[in-house]
Amino acid sequence: MDHLEELKEFARLHARGQGMSPRHATDVLARIGNDTAGDAHSWAAVWTAEGKTSAARGDLLDACRHYALARFPYHGDEDRVLAQKLCVETFDQWRRTQQGIERLEFEHPEGTVACWASGLDKPRPLLIVMGGIVSVKEQWAPLLPVLRKLGFSAVVAELPGVGENTFTYGPDSWRMLTFLMDSLADRAQVTDTSLLALSFSGHLALRAAAEDPRVSRVLTVGAPVSDFFTDDAWWPRVPGITVETLRRLTGADGAVQLRSLLREFALTDDALRDVRIPVRYVASSRDEIIPAREQSLLRRTLDDVRFKVFDDVHGSPHHLGAMRRWLFSSLLWLRCTRRRRPLPAPPPTSRSRIDERQS
């Protein structure tokens, strides 16, 4: 599959995931003839024109959907940079018509994190929502009013290197979640933090949960854990767009350096055993990016993990409604039952850690 056809295949899935009709997405894709910046028939130009049409008729969120696809998979040329800018500006225009959605920016020595937030008018349990390596925060931010009504101080952010996040994506990127909790400590109940972290940000969430006791629960969809980063037999199956996007976000100089760097991302058994909180994981039986063995690893190492498996590709875009219902019902149930991180157990003696969890 060549570059443009792979772009179109992924765009169909991401368009569906944003609620765009398959017929409309197909009509737009049929008018795209190349991916050459500056060409009127190029990927970014056609999607951007559709976004401007939606904005002109007053449908600002629909415009954001088109701009998000125009900058897909990352803003690596001038046309995509423009689409990224329009996506942020148009969402900002929309959120000013709503109540209680605010923009936050946090400066850190390693970069800037921009977020959309709601429910910070008084301290509530914190919910951080984050997408994967190709998902901008504007795709999830329309959920903010609902999340506030559900009783959360909700913040939607981006994975390092994605959208407005200027951090570099690396093995220690999970620390950005700790930085966000630190930055929000005076406006939210960060000691009761839920992480709704999709795809690659789910990996960050698991790592943060192993280190930061303020994380109370993790909900994720198709998160890589270990084998994705280390399995040389699986790697040739990973789509080219995924590989190139990872190279861009990490700053790796070519495929060889990327493979070497990604090995450092893999979560060890010991790190996962330190995740002593509930984890809820949506898996796709035909996932073309994440190996199914990641589920086996989590079942073996986590105290409290449950899976919902859909017969679908990565991210389960054909089961969006059912997936969201399962995630949010799980989130609310876990919050109501208040399952929290237990106190550290005494060091094992003659029994293994696995035996301790089963006793």
165-213 residue pLDDT tens: 999 999 999 999 999 999 999 999 999 999 999 999 999 999 999 999 9
Rounded-to-integer distance, Cα 101 and Cα 147, Å: 11
**Number of other residues whose CB lies within 10 A of the CB of residue 260:** 10
Amino acid sitting at position 12 = R
pLDDT for 102 beyond 50: yes
Rounded-to-integer distance, Cα 349 and Cα 359, Å: 14
pLDDT for 161 beyond 60: yes
What is the predicted pLDDT for the residue at 340?
A: 52
Span 40-68, pLDDT tens digits: 999 999 999 999 999 999 999 999 999 99
Residue range 287-307: average pLDDT?
A: 96
- 187 close to 181: Cβ distance less than 8 angstroms: no
pTM of the predicted protein model: 0.92
Span 305-359, pLDDT tens digits: 999 999 999 999 999 999 999 999 999 999 988 755 544 444 443 333 333 333 2
Rounded-to-integer distance, Cα 266 and Cα 203, Å: 9
Helices H / strands E in the chain, number of each? 15, 8
- Sketch the domain layout of the chain as residue ranges: 1-97, 102-340
Least confident of 9-23, 165-179, 278-292: 9-23
What is the predicted pLDDT for the residue at 1?
A: 55
Instruction: Please state which architecture CATH assigns to domain 102-340.
Output: 3-Layer(aba) Sandwich (3.40)
